[in-house]
Structure 1
């Protein structure tokens, strides 16, 4: 069972991405890990699912990208939110530029 500790970190990240114009929600599944789905509301197809877990062999928890790469430490949700906003909004700028 997922600890409230991890859910709390994901909720903190959700508040931080909200202040950057992204929308999010914590998703709990029956068989997989809890994660935070982050979506750019200007381009609904641009989304990222972030998990929270320790680095193997260490007690510290981190946020993780959906492809399994460590993103950012949980004690700085603002820093993680900046990374998410950069990635999700960078694609929007590229898509608009290619339409011109």
Structure 2
């Protein structure tokens, strides 16, 4: 957290806010997204390529010792969660039809 103008710590984003930000960036690239809230598990962003519905991925936002990160479903980091645009670009490449 970083101090704001009042000298207090600025609140960090929530997991859902990070997923929503990434979802917005992916929708701009033409993907379909929805936040899924599985029972007793962390929420995920379900991403689908509308041109090839078999090309889907569930992306997580998780906090690690070095900050928030976007993660692939197979537990590999994508990019820091401060970079929704960069994450969207990588996800778009993986889910591309060509």
Under a length normalisation based on structure 1, what TM-score does the superposition of the two structures give?
0.82
Across the aligned residues of Structure 1 and Structure 2, the Cα RMSD in angstroms comes to: 1.1
Partner secondary structure for residue 44 of structure 1: coil
String of CA shifts for 1:38-74, please: whole Å, max 9, x gaps: 000000010010001122xx15010000100011111
Gaps of 5+ in 2: 1-12
Aligned residues: 86
Q: For CA contacts below 8 A with separation 6 or more, give which structure has more relative contact order.
A: 1
Deviation >3 Å, runs of 4+: none
Match of 1:36 among 37, 45, 55: 45
Higher helix share: 1
| Residue of structure 2 in register with 1:82 after alignment | 89
Q: What's 1:52 paired with?
A: 61
The within-5 A match list for 1:1-100 is 5-55=14-64, 58-89=65-96, 92-93=97-98
For structure 1, list consecutive stretches of 5 or more residues without a partner in the other structure: 94-100
